[in-house]
Amino acid sequence: MGLLSLGTPLPWEQAKELAHEVRQHGIEQFLHIWRNTKNRQKDRLLWGDEIEYMLISLDRKNRRARLSQRGHELLSTLQIEENEMLNKANQTGEKPDLEALWRPEFGRYMIEGML
């Protein structure tokens, strides 16, 4: 998502009137991207590349998907190895050999992984 630098956001009442259209366009965009990339494999990530993850909780029995609000909890777990390696590097002066860094993202339902 980009920064709104030109224009003015709509008042909520006007935005609500366009919600269905925005939702429909988002679904169409997602399906278009998915169809074009579903068979891609082994894309190489480079230093500095970021992947934003949206955390989803699946209820298979009722066939429902909901955003999971556990991003900070998951980050704590993911960052354990990162923090241990950084502490060791600080003590030994060696460069840490980290596979990924994990950071919070915009919402509690998102996290970011970067190389």
CB neighbourhood size of 74 (10 A): 14
Question: Per mean pLDDT, which range of 26-35, 41-50, 102-111 is the poorest?
Answer: 41-50
Q: Where are the beta strands (DSSP E) in 24-70?
A: 50-54, 56-59, 64-67
What is the distance between the alpha carbons of residues 60 and 87, in angstroms, rounded to a whole number? 41
Q: Residue 9 gets which letter from DSSP? A: P
pLDDT of amino acid 2: 53
What is the pTM for the complete model shown? Answer: 0.59
Share of the chain above pLDDT 90, in %: 57
